Structure 1
């Protein structure tokens, strides 16, 4: 049985990223013995998932409007979906859903402003900006990956921590840096198959700017640096040693690096590397969260 067109449009499997981001930020707070708020945890989870749905739907809508969706070759991880191109879902309806989920996500943010603290406002504003303007603006300025790393990486982890602790601290920031790299790289590797179509449509991302070979080197450098960051943070006392369990994802990361370095211009051969990349992203986040939770009992 084929998946629901709406599940395809919202890119349902990718919403797991939002879940592990909130789990990580919450786990850092639990490790620091902050009183746990179930309500704030659930609202943060719902809010981030809604914003993630919004960016996925709006990205597909703007790709449809620009014509990119007709040019890209589809993989399970890149190229978008055809539900707007083939008329299965009305584009105007999709746009409305994108705006609606964005609005509800913002309302949850307002709840947190009033009940936890206005210090969260800059994070939410940057997140909202990244959601709506990623495809029509940011992806054409060469900064799309960086903002994706913020909007679906560092900022959600910091936000999930803040709604529990009511403040920010350096340890939470250190724990959120791998999220920036992982989400940045998630987007980066998935841009390889779409580079030619994206260039025709006026996009300017890292793969187009550096070329596929150099972009593969850059991707690999960032991924290796991310693991070194985790080890360094443990050595310097910013993260507890159980988070080193995240190093279990290294084999998957190496598979992704191999694809980025050697199969960057091969459509079919790159797909396993894209899969390994997704597994690395989800695995590192989940295991970092587990590490913090384990450390809270030690």
Structure 2
């Protein structure tokens, strides 16, 4: 597999393009799809979707993930994880390489990350005024997860809680998007968004295999680092099973419409990715296709689920 070229200062002379690229925009689609599911469940429940509120919510979610991505690069540079990562599969693992390749300094990366989170806070305040003050609970939880995932003293991913952070963060976007339209809490977005959140978690999980050696040396003891590789690989399969078992169960219980099962059309992508991981877990450089399939499975599942909710 031919990997894309890593970023360099010569290739990113335009400051605006440089900072946009530092957010890893291609991966912001995870938040985009989480928003779409939130809007779809609101529409399914008979709400008239407010386009202006939906647009601001989407911007809010994208900035939150962008800020998390940038701060993750900063804290991984501080602990030396990305610098020692020689088994990375760029652009999927090993960070953005902006600090390591001299495109941005540590201070620039730190400041940019916190500016993005400050913008998220401002957007959240506006959305609170337009919907309900209770939105602050979702916003504060999302900001805390985005910061504490990498930052000391919490360093949640290093303590084996990274997967929980990703699932909770993605689910908070779906719940928050629905909340803004509904102007209150409901069980529906939790129920609808969990299977997608689990598949998004699997992207973090599989990405940790190429990073395993560097993360272990830096003290980032997530579950892929804690477990023997031959045992850790089955975690991916377990998460896929949980995602689809949840979706099947909530449809069987009548909590989601039958057409939500359209999302099962994405299952073969997850199965193919799992087979590649089971075969190549000990050869991380062979996992590029499995990572791509994991992204495709996540996005296809989210899109099909949203379609099923709207049509249902």
Pairwise TM-score range, normalised by the shorter structure? over 0.9
Q: Give 1 or 2: higher helix fraction.
A: 1
Q: Give the 5 Å matches for 1:23-172.
A: 23-72=36-85, 73-75=87-89, 76-136=91-151, 137-151=155-169, 153-172=170-189
Give the whole-Å Cα distance in 2 for the aligned partners of 1:186 and 1:122. Answer: 26
Deviations 1:3-33 (A, max 9, x none): 7544542111101111111010001001111
Q: Which moved more, 1:96-105 or 1:106-115?
A: 106-115
Please give the per-residue CA displacement for 1:140-195, whole angstroms capped at 9, x wherever unaligned: 221121012111x2111111111001122222221021133122211111001111
Gaps of 5+ in 2: 13-17
Which of 203, 215, 232 pairs up with 2:232? 215
Count of equivalent residues:
294
Deviates more, 1:127-136 or 1:25-34: 127-136
2:25 corresponds to 1:12: yes
Q: Measure the CA separation in 1 of the matches of 2:196 and 2:115.
A: 26
How far apart are the structure 1 equivalents of 2:61 and 2:114? 14
C-alpha separation in 1, matches of 2:284 and 2:233: 14
Q: CA deviation at 1:97?
A: 1.2
- CA deviations over 1:240-289 (Å, ceiling 9, x no partner): 11111111111110111112322111122211111111111111111111
Contact in 2 for aligned 1:74/1:81 (Cα 8 Å): no
Residues 145 and 165, structure 2, Cα contact 8 Å, conserved in 1: yes
Q: CA RMSD in A?
A: 1.6
Gap runs ≥5 in structure 1: none
Do the aligned residues in 2 keep the contact of 1:220 with 1:260 (CA within 8 Å)?
no
Alignment check: 8 A CA contact 1:185 1:219 kept: yes
Normalising by structure 1, we get a TM-score of 0.94
Q: CA deviation at 1:138?
A: 0.9
The alignment status of 1:22 with 2:35, answered yes or no, reads yes
Q: Is the 8 A contact 1:9 1:60 kept in 2?
A: no
Deviates more, 1:54-63 or 1:119-128: 119-128
Do residues 205 (structure 1) and 222 (structure 2) align? yes
Deviations 1:15-72 (A, max 9, x none): 1111111010001001111121111100110000001110111111111122211111
Q: Distance in 2 between matches of 1:293 and 1:139?
A: 35
